[in-house]
Structure 1
Amino acid sequence: MKYLDMVTPKNVVTAATAAGTVYLVAKTIMAGIKSPPYNPKPLPLARLAIEHQAPNVTVGDSGELRGLLLSLNPSLDDYAKKMIFHGITRCVYLLDNEATACTCDDIVLVASFLDDEDMGIKIQALNALKAFAGILKFKIKIQEFVPQILEMIANFWDNDMHIAGLRLLNGLQLPVQTHSLLKKLLPSLMDILQLGSPVAKVQVLKFLSTLAQKEDLLYDIMNCQVHADFLTLFQPYHPGNLLFEMLVFVERLSEGRLTPHYQSVNWQYNELSLHEVLFGEDSRLSDRLLSLIIHPEEEVQIQACRVILKLQLSDGTEIAAAGETGSRLSSFLFDSVGNITVAESTLMSEC
């Protein structure tokens, strides 16, 4: 067949189409090579759920949370229990209507797994209770389990357990009838403060700051035995949030010991008690506080100044270091040209 015989309208269209296809494919490949890689930002589960909702439409009951609660059974294997608890916690945070529709019986069911032999399941149960505690009507019911949660924190040396349990307790009101138990467990709480992980220390400090405001617990906290190196907790190299909570705790103790009720009794303290380490004649607390005034985080600076001022304004109590702290603080805060640190200027503006 001659070449000219092959040049028909049909063959020309076919060839042109093929050539065009090859060109487009090549162009697409080159564009892909030259373009930057596609890196989508992670989409949080909560945001994903919201974006898939039609506007102005009330979300119905999916039944997911109810189904998870019904499937929760002690006979399940540990992995299944953990996955169900993870789902329950997620649903309580994301599905407000379904979480609010739960009952106190559901809270009792979840709390029953605090007795599980597996530590991971105990922690998951605490996390689920923490989620439910965000709903007002369940707070009182969950408070019934405070003694058990306290015993767990004291009896198991596990950082995740301490963190989960203390986070839950920090969101609850402590019933008065638990105060006698708390007095017995204070040494364990002090051990967590001195030996636990940084996150556990932050949580236990928040808890102790709350307890320090209870008149019938203050002396027991003050007289609690601590390690000789307790003041290393004030070293500037610690995380800022840990230092801040430590300073808040000291401020609460200082305020409590200056109340008429506390000063009306001649309290006796052990040699290595928290009171002697912080407020005793040989305490080096003032040195630690002065070192924190120049901390990089302003929140820590301000709180350190608050504690120093509280000690100075003690009006002749047994804080022997207050006078020394006052003169050293004045020379430290004001340089030769009368400049003031950020923390001190902030405090003056608040007064």
Structure 2
Amino acid sequence: MNANKAILEIARKTIENEGKAILDLIPFLDTQFEGAVTAIFNSKGRVVISGVGKSALIASKIVATLNSTGTPSIFMHAADAIHGDLGTIQNNDVVICLSKSGNTEEIKMLIPLIKRGGNTLIGLTGNAESVLAKQADFVLNTYVEKEACPNNLAPTTSTTAQLVMGDALAICLLELREFGKEDFAKYHPGGSLGKRLYLRVADIVETNEKPIVAADASVKEVIVEISKKMLGVTAVMENKEVVGVVTDGDIRRMLNKHDNISTLTAKDIMTRAPKTIEADILAVKAMELLKQHGISQLLVVQDNEYKGVIHIHNLINEGIT
């Protein structure tokens, strides 16, 4: 086997091993898991998640997932907890301790302190016979047969199992809280993800010019308006209503078709029944319509009143693709 094939074979086996380990977690979803989810859901406090080493890194990721899906959470390193940070845990908080062995010294020292405070303790461990498992109010079993590491030492499969169990916990709580897109947008206001969830057409169109010509405007007036407003299109109005649009494509087609354009008006060259979108619609829907119809602009209206134009470049610039 050459070097490249060996590399790919190792990678394949790693993914297969971890994939199998994830599926093997399903039988561990029992009344203990249900009890843990219910305890968190009914709690009036936060979720405090703790661990050491690689488990601490996974704990931080679970905290981030819970926070972003509506369950207030905070990370507390187990080593720091027994050296002054135990005050992180407040009344009514639920504590989750992560430990593959369940017998980590810091975790073992932390357990009685948590129990003394009367907080609900959830153990997320791969060892059902460990101190953590026996002392916890609820146990989330993340047992794995072996690590992906050929020496069965480096935390690989075990940390993947912890992460997946944390995701299962978070999604169950999300469903119980009926956490929807609007809620998600509230917690993710930044970046392209947030914009897809809250940015509306009106937020964009108000920053654009508002190209408009009368139905009897000359071709020169139309070209000047399209060039001036730099959106590649202008609305055509008659009796205070939009009756069509003229795009730069319409201009090119007109020049190919007519030698004498001096007598032509906007109404002669416009496209009737233009595609429109309501101003209060999410911007991501505008992108869907542009792609669906293979066009670059949409006229924006609100209660049949013309508000302006949204261009595909506006959406791309906002990270909506």
TM-score range, shorter chain: under 0.3
TM-score by length of 2: 0.26
Of Structure 1 and Structure 2, the greater helix share is in 1
Of Structure 1 and Structure 2, the greater strand share is in 2
TM-score by length of 1: 0.24
